[in-house]
């Protein structure tokens, strides 16, 4: 029996509320830093003042005392009174700093929030505006290629233009998705999903692309293996990592796409024998717009967005993703997803 859980797009009020929550958390965190710093300084100053004053009182207090014990009592009461006063003053100062720090943090973060909101709106609006003309260009180029008129040179130019338009279309689609992710508006619909079937579909989808790159994709999958997931998002993630492996494979290279299962999780492994990634680049491989081999990335169509989307998708499915690589030896990417019977959302 299929189980489905829908995570719907937030309304305008909810999306605004989520933004405000993020801003509130950042503001509260910054204010807490102010309080901690001031509290530490007060503690150091008060401790120094207390011991210095207590020493001076003990040395300078004068009077007729029946014995040393009476003098010690007076000194103790005086220092205790100072201690109480210091604690009260420090508490008042900390409370004041807390309120003032919260206000100051809001003033500090407000320009940053406006800049981020403006950047997100620009990315979303620009992506929407680019989507239509790119679709028209792609359609016109496909029609022109199907026509039998023209020379081989013209066909080659049209083919190259079509590839660039398709590359731009993918970038625009990725930017739109990242914009929805940033605004907590991406739709997720979870159901019982056969990950092996999604792998096969990804291979079929990328078959011609792999052939054009002279790369062989070898698939090994236990069937069926069910997870609780969003089929469309998982399909997109699998296609992204498969395309990435194909892009960075050597000529006549091989990409091994395998699936195994344990008692609690499904394990997807994508391994290639391509150019590999350096240890320095591995730490940034999931960052947006980061490309390990910048000299080859444009020719291969990479934008540096695919793996950041993959990571988001896997995390939303309560899974893990890891990557191992060595220059000139290849890359191995592993995805672990909880099986359908063990998944809890």
- 117-129 pLDDT, tens digit per residue, is 666 666 666 666 6
Do the beta carbons of residue 243 and residue 272 sit within 8 Å? no
- Looking at per-residue confidence, does 39 or 63 come out higher? 39
Whole-angstrom distance, CA of residue 31 vs CA of residue 190: 39
Which of 140-149, 185-194, 289-298 is predicted least confidently? 289-298
Q: In the prediction, which pLDDT does 14 show?
A: 44
Q: In the prediction, which pLDDT does 2 show?
A: 41
What integer is the mean pLDDT of 85-111?
A: 84
Whole-angstrom distance, CA of residue 316 vs CA of residue 335: 13
Res 330 pLDDT > 80 = yes
Three-state DSSP state, 282: helix
Look at residues 181, 273, 304, 158 and name the one whose alpha carbon lies nearest to residue 233.
181
Taking the chain, what is the end-to-end CA distance rounded to the nearest angstrom?
18
Torsion of CA 124, 126, 128, 132, to 10 degrees: -170
Res 111 pLDDT > 90 = no
Phi, psi of 2, deg, nearest 5: -80, 135
Q: Report the predicted TM-score, pTM, of the whole model to 2 decimal places.
A: 0.58
Residues 6+ apart with CB under 8 A from 239: 202, 205, 206
Residues 6+ apart with CB under 8 A from 103: none
Residues 6+ apart with CB under 8 A from 151: none
Q: Residue 338's pLDDT band (boundaries 50, 70, 90)?
A: very high
Q: In the prediction, which pLDDT does 162 show?
A: 74
The pair of three-digit structure tokens given for residue 35, joined into one six-digit string: 């309080």
128 catalytic residue (yes or no)? yes
What integer is the mean pLDDT of 127-148?
A: 71
Whole-angstrom distance, CA of residue 105 vs CA of residue 101: 6
**Per the residue annotation, which of 128, 154, 284, 298 is the catalytic one?**
128
Mean pLDDT of the chain: 78
Per DSSP bridges, beta strands 320-326 and 265-272 are unpaired
Beta bridge partners of residue 259, listed in sequence order:
221, 268
What integer is the mean pLDDT of 40-61?
A: 78
């Amino acid at each position: 029996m299929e189980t489905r859980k829908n995570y719907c797009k937030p309304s305008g009020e909810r999306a605004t509320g989520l933004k405000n929550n993020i801003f509130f958390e950042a503001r509260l965190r910054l204010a807490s830093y102010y309080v901690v710093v001031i509290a530490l300084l007060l503690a150091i100053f008060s401790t120094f003042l207390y011991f210095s004053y207590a020493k001076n009182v003990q040395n300078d207090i004068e009077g007729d005392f029946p014995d040393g014990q009476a003098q010690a009592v007076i000194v103790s009461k005086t220092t205790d009174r100072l201690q109480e006063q210091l604690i009260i003053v420090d508490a008042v100062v900390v409370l004041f700093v807390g309120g003032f720090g919260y206000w100051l943090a809001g003033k500090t973060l407000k320009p940053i929030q406006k800049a981020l909101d403006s950047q997100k709106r620009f990315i979303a609006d620009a992506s929407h505006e680019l989507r239509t003309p790119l679709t028209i260009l792609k359609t016109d180029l496909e029609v022109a290629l199907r026509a039998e008129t023209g020379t081989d040179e013209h066909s080659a130019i049209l083919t190259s233009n079509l590839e660039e338009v398709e590359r731009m279309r993918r970038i625009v689609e990725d930017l739109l998705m990242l914009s929805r992710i940033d605004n907590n508006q991406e739709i997720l619909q979870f159901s019982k999903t056969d990950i092996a079937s999604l792998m096969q579909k990804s291979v079929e989808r990328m078959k011609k692309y792999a052939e054009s790159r002279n790369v062989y994709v070898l698939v090994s999958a236990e069937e069926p293996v069910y997870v609780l997931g969003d089929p469309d998002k998982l399909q997109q993630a699998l296609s992204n990592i498969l395309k990435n492996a194909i892009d960075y494979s050597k000529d006549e290279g091989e990409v091994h796409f395998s699936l195994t299962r344990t008692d609690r999780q499904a394990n997807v492994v994508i391994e290639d024998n391509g150019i590999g990634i350096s240890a320095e680049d591995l730490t940034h491989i999931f960052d947006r717009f980061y490309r390990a081999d910048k000299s080859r990335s444009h020719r291969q169509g990479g934008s540096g967005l695919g793996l950041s989307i993959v990571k988001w998708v896997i995390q939303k499915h309560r899974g893990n993703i890891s990557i191992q690589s060595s220059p000139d030896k290849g890359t191995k990417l592993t995805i672990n997803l909880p099986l359908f019977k063990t998944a809890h959302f």
